[in-house]
Every structure is written in structure tokens, then in C-alpha cells.
Structure 1
Amino acid sequence: MTSLYGLLESVRGFIATGGDVLYFVAAALFLMWVLMIERYWYLLGEFPKVRKNIITSWEAREDTTSWYAHRIRDRWISQASDDLNARMLIIRTLIAMCPLIGLLGTVTGMINVFETMATQGTSNARLMASGISMATIPTMAGMVAALSGLFISSRLETRAKIARDKLIDSLPHH
């Protein structure tokens, strides 16, 4: 219990040092990771069932050589591909937004520095340091959030492409 309290205090101190923009970085990071976990869940848990159903349906067809049968096959592959790539655009958008949200923190931190300089003068370095940390920490947090999402999303896209290609290979057309 004390370690959880210490962790919460550390997070609270980090956010106080970095400013309120870190809440937006945290929200984007949370949403991004929820979507990526959902995509992994679909890819590893649900898609094998979908793939099996599509293959079973294709093999159960008597006609697999006509133009009409090939259009049905293409439709099933297209639907499976759409399902595999669902929400990937949102994930990529959140990845691109994280550094921009961090830059918003840079701007608000620098405004804080200039406000301190205007009201207190340039001689108080301690007051300016809080604004500078408020300018740098959100940028760092946004970049770290984007990098973590970039790595996982590229792995997801690769796995989705491989799963689609395996599905195509499993549906022979004569």
C-alpha cells in the first residue's frame, strides 16, 4: 500500500513539474494503448476463428472457379483485411498527436517563463526554472509516448499483413 502511495506521489510530482498538458499526453497514451491491446486481442484471439470460418465456407462451395466465385472470395478477403486494419488509422493519428501535444506543453511552459520574467524580473532563476521544466517535460513525455506507440503499431501492421497474406494463400482459386 505504501509503494502504491509513493508511486502516486511520484506521478503527481511529475505532473506538477510538467504542467497540465501532461494530462492530455496521458489521455492520448491511454487511448492509444487501449486500442493497440484491442488490436492484438483481435489479431491473436478472434481473427483465427474468422479465418477458419472463411476457409470452411470457401472449401464448402461447389463452384470455386467462376468469376462470381472469385468475386465472393475477393469480398471475403477484403472484409477480413478491413477487420484486421480497423482502428489502425486512429492509432497512427494518436501517435502523430503525442509529440504535438508535447509541443503545446513547450509553448505553455515558455509562456510561463516569460510571464515570470515580466512580473519578477530576470534575476530569479528558480522561478524561471519551473517554467523551463514545464516546457521540456511535456515534450519529452509526448515523444516517449509516440515512440512506444510507433514500435507496437508497426508490429501490429506487419502481423495484420501476414495474417491477410496467409488467408489469401489458404483460399486457392483454380
Structure 2
Amino acid sequence: MGDIIIAVRDFLEMGGQVLNIIALVIFLMWMLILERLAYFQTEVKTLKSNIQSSWNQRQEKKSWAQMLLESR
């Protein structure tokens, strides 16, 4: 395990600051990807059910938006 850490450290030292910046950008990219996945797993389901329940509570359901949805 120690050899791997030393090899990674040596590689980063050879590449200079550019590799550090690339590593930071990759880390931020994965943080954003994981945040989006968490959002879709939690918030979107709640938002979808709220929108559907508010639509079902409407009295008038023949609006332009409904006709657009039916035409698909």
C-alpha cells in the first residue's frame, strides 16, 4: 500500500501543478454527478407526486397543456 502512495506522489510531482488542478476538477465533477443522482433519487419523486396531485385536484382539465400532453 505504501508503494502505491509513493508512486502516485511521484507521478503528481512529475506532472506539476497541472495534475493537481486536473485532480481537483475531476473531484468537483464527481461531486456534482453524485449530487444530481441524489437529487433524482429523492427530490424528483416528491416533486412529481406534488405536481400530479395538484393536477388531479383541478376542476378544469381540458386546458392547452392537457391537450398538448394528450397529443404525445
TMscore range, shorter length? 0.7 to 0.9
Counterpart for residue 6 of structure 2: 9
Counterpart for residue 37 of structure 1: 34
- 1:28 is aligned to 2:25: yes
In structure 2, stretches of 5+ residues that fail to align are none
Whole-Å Cα distance in 2 between the matches of residues 27 and 38 of structure 1?
16
Map 1:49-64; keep pairs closer than 5 Å: 49-64=46-61
- TM-score of the aligned structures, taking structure 1 as reference length: 0.35
Map 1:6-155; keep pairs closer than 5 Å: 6-67=3-64, 70=65
Whole-Å Cα distance in 1 between the matches of residues 47 and 4 of structure 2?
42
Provide the identity percentage. Answer: 35
Instruction: Tell me which stretches of 4 or more aligned residues in structure 1 moved more than 3 Å.
Output: 5-8
Change in 2 beyond 3 A, CA 1:48/1:9: same
Whole-Å Cα distance in 2 between the matches of residues 51 and 25 of structure 1?
37
Whole-Å Cα distance in 2 between the matches of residues 8 and 60 of structure 1?
60
Residues 116-172 of structure 1 deviation map (CA, whole Å, 9 limit, x = unaligned): xxxxxxxxxxxxxxxxxxxxxxxxxxxxxxxxxxxxxxxxxxxxxxxxxxxxx7xx6
More relative contact order, 1 or 2 (CA 8 Å, 6+ apart): 1
In structure 1, stretches of 5+ residues that fail to align are 74-168
Shift in Å, 1:50: 0.8
Change in 2 beyond 3 A, CA 1:63/1:31: same
Corresponding residue SS for 2:28: helix
Residues 7-49 of structure 1 deviation map (CA, whole Å, 9 limit, x = unaligned): 4323211101222210110111011110011111111222111
Q: Which amino acid aligns with 1:50?
A: L
